[in-house]
Amino acid sequence: MINQSIRISLLFVSATILCNCSGSKQVNKAAEKMTLRGTFKDDFLIGTALNTRQIEQKDPKAAALIPQQFDAATPENIMKAEEIHPQWGTYNFDLADKLVAYAAANNIRVNAHTLIWHSQLPAYVRRLQSADSVRQFFTEHINTLASHYDGKVYSWDVVNEALNEDGTLRKSIFLQKLGDNYIVEAFRLAQQAAPNTQLYYNDYNIEQPRKRAGAVAVVQKIQEAGVRIDGIGIQGHWRAGHVPFDEIEKSIEAFGALGIKVMFTELDLSVLPNPLNGNTADVSQTAAYNAQYNPFVAGLPDSIQQQLASDYEQLFKLFLKHKDKIGRVTFWGVNDGQSWLNDWPVRGRTNYPLLFDRQFAPKLAYYKVIESKTKS
């Protein structure tokens, strides 16, 4: 059997050969024996989103790379209500149980995603009319899942994306039928059912001032009700060249001051034009394909590769500066070919938002992330 350190070296030898990114020859000397999880082991967890094939280890390259590089994992889709609770009272625990076993075998912590979200709800929930039936779904869903996975997953995104851009509460089915205390109630139920699990609120754009103020108010309301919330997840779907570093830093400070951990939960930096207004991560907003929105099918120009790498480096320097407040940094996918950003908000594009390329080779951005720690 090939031992772990030889396997890691082999990975990087092959990565060096595969990586045609400019500048990598100079920087990968120091990085070649490093991994993400090893580099940041004293700072914060390093996570990835996992899709079904990865959880079932059907892709050998992903199966080799994931446990070397990551010590946290979030299921990309399989624990969302439409997948894990497809019919009233019927739960598909199989894949999530596999994820828990896979994670335990590889010393990876699972962040379960997500209990209460207006999106990817099963059709029967969207058809519910009465407040009583929505409340029954809400209560049973949280109780069943939170208790089944208590002690097996490390954390839950209890509520996802409850806020509008102006910081007010989104008019989801939960707000409309249960009233504006529903977030506190979700955390109260989760706390009872999962006393051994970290409980988080998760959202996109909550680094922006108005939405950040809304998120602070949500956390304070939970705390004032005497209910436990352990952390907040800033999703981190940003664009290379447009990362809002100052607002991110203000948000780490504002959320940290509430006495909870800050997580970056779905980090990716799109390099493609965004045809939508504003920098939303609202999965329901999409745009039609147009070749001008897909300029890098043949490869990423070096200038953009450099921009991506420098943005990631600056982000990780910021994370390290505030490591006392940060619990985890999770990338939304393992490699560029597997990123949701190839199909959202426009289907069928070629995006390059992550640290590993389509062949699983580390990109320049990977080495710059490692260097943010080793050269500091």
From CA 121, how far away is CA 344, in angstroms rounded?
18
Residue length, the chain?
Answer: 376
Which of 125/281 has CB closer to ligand XIL? 281
Which of 84/281 has CB closer to ligand XIL? 281
Q: How far is the CB of 374 from ligand XIL (least distance, A)?
A: 31
Which of 28/251 has CB closer to ligand XIL? 251
Q: How far is the CB of 31 from ligand XIL (least distance, A)?
A: 28
Q: Are 79 and 105 in contact (CB under 8 A)?
A: no
Q: Residue 360 belongs to what H/E stretch?
A: none
From CA 30, how far away is CA 24, in angstroms rounded?
11
Q: Would residue 56 show up in a list of annotated catalytic residues for this protein?
A: no
Q: How far is the CB of 155 from ligand XIL (least distance, A)?
A: 14
From CA 286, how far away is CA 291, in angstroms rounded?
15
Residue with tokens 């907040």: 232
Which of 4/286 has CB closer to ligand XIL? 286
Comparing CA positions, the residue from 328, 375, 338 lying closest to residue 157 is: 328
For ligand XIL, the binding residues (CB under 6 A) are 76-77, 160, 235, 266, 281, 283, 340
Q: How far is the CB of 329 from ligand XIL (least distance, A)?
A: 16
Query: Taking CB positions, which residue lies at the least distance from ligand XIL?
Result: 340
Which of 69/205 has CB closer to ligand XIL? 205
| Token output for 76 | 């990309």
Q: Out of 161, 207, 266, 371, which one is annotated catalytic?
A: 266
Q: How far is the CB of 133 from ligand XIL (least distance, A)?
A: 25
What totals of helices (H) and strands (E) does the chain contain, helices first?
A: 15, 9
| Token output for 45 | 């967890």
Comparing CA positions, the residue from 211, 109, 129 lying closest to residue 170 is: 211
Query: Hey, which bits of the chain come out as E strands?
Result: 45-50, 72-75, 109-116, 155-160, 198-203, 231-234, 237-239, 261-270, 326-331
Catalytic residues: 266
